[in-house]
């Protein structure tokens, strides 16, 4: 952050964009030689990526063919800081 131990004031927006970019990476980037697409398991690791499962669910609700075979999990390392 701008000062040691302090968060940036716009962290919510930063990580929302990060989560949206993660969805695009899963669908479109040839990671390991091919795009993962919808047949994958997505693990959201701590609060930084916590919106990913929600975005997947919202997109699936709007268009049932999207993410139809995708499973999600949320991993929380330290609940005290979440």
Of 74, 65, 23, the C-alpha closest to 47 is 74
The strand ranges marked E within the chain are 41-45, 71-75
Closest CA to 26 of 59, 82, 70: 70
pLDDT tens readout for residues 8-33: 899 999 999 999 999 999 989 988 88
pTM of the model: 0.83
Beta carbons within 8 Å of 13's beta carbon, 6+ residues apart: none
Q: pLDDT tens digit string along 24-73?
A: 999 899 888 888 888 889 999 988 999 999 999 999 999 999 999 999 99
Contact partners, residue 74, CB within 8 Å, separation at least 6? 43, 44, 50, 53
């Amino acid at each position: 952050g701008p000062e040691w131990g302090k968060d940036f004031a716009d962290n919510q927006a930063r990580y929302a964009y990060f989560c949206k970019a993660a969805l695009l990476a899963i669908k479109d980037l040839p990671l390991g030689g091919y795009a993962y697409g919808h047949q994958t398991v997505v693990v959201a690791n701590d609060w930084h990526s916590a919106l990913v499962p929600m975005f997947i669910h919202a997109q699936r609700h709007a268009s049932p063919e999207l993410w139809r075979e995708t499973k999600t999990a949320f991993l929380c390392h330290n609940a005290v800081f979440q």
